[in-house]
Structure 1
Amino acid sequence: MMNFLRRMMYGRYGGDQLNNALLVLAMVLMLLRALTGWAFLGMMALALLILCYFRMFSRNIQARYSENQWFMQRWMPVKQAIKGVKTRFSDRKTHCYYKCPQCKKRLRVPRGRGKIEITCPECHTRFVKKT
C-alpha cells in the first residue's frame, strides 16, 4: 500500500503551507456551516478542499511553488504580529513595551524601575518613560 502511494505521488507537488491554510479554512467553514445551517458555507468549504487536492496532485511544481511563495510573503507579517502579541502578553507582568518616537521600533524594558531613560538601539534616540 505504501509503495502504491509513493508511486502515485512521484512527480507531484504534495502539501505545503498554503494547502494547510486551505484545509484549516475549509474546516472552519464546515464548522460554521454546522452551527448556522447556511448551505453556501458548505459549498465554499468543498471548493477549498477541491482546490487543495488539485494543488496537492498537480505536476506543475513551479506554479504551485510560486503560489506558496506568494502566500508566505503575505502570511509571514501576520504570523509575526500574532507572535509579537503573544510574547507581549506572556511578558506583561515583568516587562513594559514602548515604541521609539523616532523609528517606531518596539522596545522592551523591565517593569517596576520607575522613570528611566530609554535609548533606542536602532536610531539612538533617548526618551524618558515610567515603567
Structure 2
Amino acid sequence: MDWLRRVMNGRYGVDQLSIALLIISVILTIVGIFPNTHFLSTLSLIPLFICYFRTFSRNIRKRYDENQKFLSFWNPIRNTFRKKVERSKDKTHRYYKCPKCGKTVRVPKGKGKICITCPICKEEFIRKS
C-alpha cells in the first residue's frame, strides 16, 4: 500500500467529475453489450481514459477548476431531485408556489382552506391544505 501512496503523491486524485465519468463509462459499456454493437463499448473507453488522466494529473489547479465547473452544472440538478424526494416524504406539510414571485411556501396539512402569505413578496393567496 505504501507504493500507492508514493505513486499518488503530488497527483490530483479522484473527485466528483471523475466519479461521474466512471459512471458514464460503465453505463455505456453495459448498454453496448445488449444490442451486441461494440461501438458503445469502444466509446465508453473515452470517459474512462479522461477519468484516469484526471486522477493521475499533477496539474491540481486545473483539475480543481474543471471539477468546480462540473459542480456548478450538477448541483442545481441534484438539489432539484433532493427537494422532490424530501417533499414526497413530508407527511405533515404541503408545498405551494407563490403566484407572484414563484417562491415555494410550506404550510401544514389538514387545516382546510387557508390564506397563505408569501414570506418574500407578502402576496396572499388561498389554498386548501
TM-score between the two structures when normalised by the length of structure 1: 0.92
- Counterpart of 2:126 (choices 117, 125, 128) is 128
Show the counterpart of 1:43. Answer: 42
Query: Secondary structure of the residue that 2:34 maps to in structure 1?
Result: helix
Change (3 A) 1:19 1:127: same
Describe the SS at the equivalent of 1:117.
Answer: strand
SS in 2 for 1:36: coil
CA distance in 1, matches of 2:123, 2:20: 41
Aligned residue pairs total: 129
- Picking from 93, 96, 99, the partner of 1:98 is 96
Give CA-to-partner distance per residue, 1:25-70, whole Å, 9 cap, x none: 1111112112222322112211111110000001111110110000
Q: Which residue of 1 aligns with 2:15?
A: 16
Q: Which residue of 1 aligns with 2:79?
A: 80
> CA–CA distance in 2 between the matches of 1:24 and 1:34?
16
Instruction: Tell me the CA shift for residue 94 of structure 1.
Output: 3.1
Identical counterparts, % of pairs: 49
Alpha-carbon offset, residue 106 of structure 1 = 1.1
Distance in 2 of aligned mates of 1:115 and 1:130: 4
1:102 deviates by: 1.5
For structure 1, which runs of at least 5 residues remain unmatched after alignment? Answer: none
Distance 1:70 1:63 in 2: 11
Unaligned runs of 5+ in 2: none
CA distance, structure 2, for counterparts of residue 119 and residue 90 of structure 1? 24
Q: State the distance in 2 between where 1:126 and 1:114 align.
A: 16
Deviation at 1:112, TM superposition (A): 1.9
